[in-house]
Structure 1
């Protein structure tokens, strides 16, 4: 405890000699380089600080779990006194957990932490173990690790290791004739698809392993995934036992996949909107009834407000739509048991 108190008495020296922005004798490249060096020092210092903030907050939270009330009142009070939001607190705790996991598993040397930017560190913690190992080795060699380097390594690993990619694509990824940044998004979308639909995409990109085909396949895979996700949420389809898979294959065959995907997505949104409308309609009706009981001759303006809004909770609702042509929309809700 005494050592910690003593350490706090020693201020961290962050007294940079920043270049004068008005000095025209300094070349633009030199000016930016000097600022970049200072920024990197701040970034490393910030990372170490936030890791320790996360460890401190985690200790407070865990102590509260063991000895406090079940609502974590003490932890929330501690945050409030220091003007820390719950979102910020848990982001720091997540960062501390990531740091401890990487260090405990031996994937990161404590001395190389300063070679990371904060975002790169978080990105590394979320990456596959193989990518973590590659990033750690680069950091231990003294390389500066930013989020861009981590994502690049992650994309390269995805391109080389994914079982969803045909060999012609992997071969081109290996010799860098197909950049990994075009391959990784395709793999992520293909992971969401059933095997039957993956096979169609695999056949297309194996026949033409180029960037344009990869982009097209990525778009198509995204539409397929969107279609399947939305279709599972549409009651009108599930109640009638529509063969979603076959309908999807037919849409692919005649070249209208994007239209079919958008139609199903809009149907899903419509059903959700209807459900939300119904709950809001019920709430307006209940609130209007309660307010009517409390109003009278002494509250004429409140009664006027109620008389205007109350019809929105009735059986028939009207709404004027403004635009080139004014239109009146009437909606009727009928409840059935």
Structure 2
């Protein structure tokens, strides 16, 4: 009986329009100062934002319930859940985005970090950002929300940057002190920490020494750029077969590039080489696929399908060992590619 009453109450509530009636300022009224006009529309926008947040959290909870029910009594492949989504024209990615939002809300509520009424102080994007933040940042954001502060994505991002600047073990104490004094803005320190986390310890030590000896904004920007190039170089170098086959001393080459001031160029070169090798591998697999599909289609066609046969003839060069491609609308340049398959397996395999 209680369940029926709840369902009836919910259904009755849905018959009532949401209380989202605003008195928006007249955009053609020149008597309204620009600052007042923007303030009024911003308030209305924030209300809509919070309304969307509450709605999306409940959508996530509903979808989670449907999904979990399907896990208990479904076919084990989630077919029923996917069918439920299809009937309501909801994509799978959107559904799981809402479920993740609901999980984040419930986690914050269950751990006592957030009071239910405080959710209304968040914008939708701020809440999503807070859900992804570290526990320490979540705690600071929740405390601010519970005091009645309006939380936007900017506030969450700022708190996260400040926490990174003050807590990271990768930063020298002199940098942390300047961050606390705000003489080094946290928004410049956080990207450096993010890039340093990708580097091996020896490279971290070099950067630490550099910013410890010159803890100023210009040095911070410079080492952040260097750290980004270092991370890109090291990640790409491992993936380049041409370097692994020849056993190039990656670290020494890196040090030489730094010494002559061309680290970013070397990093870009290695990165482009990695992408080229990946494209070659992808092109080879596509070439094989074209051959297989062409063979299958040729077997299934004949004199009764002249245009289909003509299509096959036109595409045949793309499946041959030598392919030609014209670059430019007027064919100013021809590119010829020769694919030759080899095998390292011994005879008989």
TM-score band w.r.t. shorter chain: over 0.9
Q: Report the CA distance between 1:57 and its aligned residue.
A: 0.5
Structure 2 length-normalised TM:
0.92
Of 209, 213, 222, 2:215 maps to 209
Correspondences of 1:49-198 after superposition (within 5 Å): 49-198=55-204
* Residue of structure 2 in register with 1:294 after alignment: 300
Of 14, 18, 28, 2:24 maps to 18
Equivalent residues, number: 337
Tell me the SS of whatever aligns to 2:335. Answer: strand
Tell me the SS of whatever aligns to 2:334. Answer: strand
Distance in 2 of aligned mates of 1:177 and 1:20: 43
* Residue of structure 2 in register with 1:249 after alignment: 255
Distance in 1 of aligned mates of 2:328 and 2:52: 52
Change (3 A) 1:211 1:8: farther
Change (3 A) 1:295 1:218: same
Q: Tell me which moved more, 282-291 or 95-104.
A: 282-291
| Structure 2 gap ranges (5+) | 344-349
Of 334, 339, 342, 1:333 maps to 339
| CA deviations over 1:136-179 (Å, ceiling 9, x no partner) | 11011100000000000000000011111112211110100111
Q: Report the CA distance between 1:90 and its aligned residue.
A: 0.6
* Residue of structure 2 in register with 1:41 after alignment: 47
Change (3 A) 1:316 1:324: closer
> How much is the aligned-residue C-alpha RMSD, in angstroms?
1.7
Change (3 A) 1:154 1:301: same
Tell me the SS of whatever aligns to 2:246. Answer: coil
* Residue of structure 1 in register with 2:346 after alignment: none
Distance in 2 of aligned mates of 1:4 and 1:288: 58
Tell me the SS of whatever aligns to 1:192. Answer: coil
Distance in 2 of aligned mates of 1:277 and 1:41: 51
Structure 1 length-normalised TM:
0.95
Q: Report the CA distance between 1:265 and its aligned residue.
A: 0.7
Q: Tell me which moved more, 314-323 or 123-132.
A: 314-323
| CA deviations over 1:308-335 (Å, ceiling 9, x no partner) | 2102111111122238982222211111
Distance in 2 of aligned mates of 1:318 and 1:177: 60
Of 289, 312, 315, 1:309 maps to 315
Distance in 1 of aligned mates of 2:130 and 2:120: 14
| CA deviations over 1:62-109 (Å, ceiling 9, x no partner) | 111111012211111111121111111111000000001111111111
| CA deviations over 1:102-148 (Å, ceiling 9, x no partner) | 11111111121110111111111111111111111101110000000
Tell me the SS of whatever aligns to 1:13. Answer: coil
Correspondences of 1:318-329 after superposition (within 5 Å): 318-322=324-328, 326-329=332-335
* Residue of structure 1 in register with 2:9 after alignment: 6
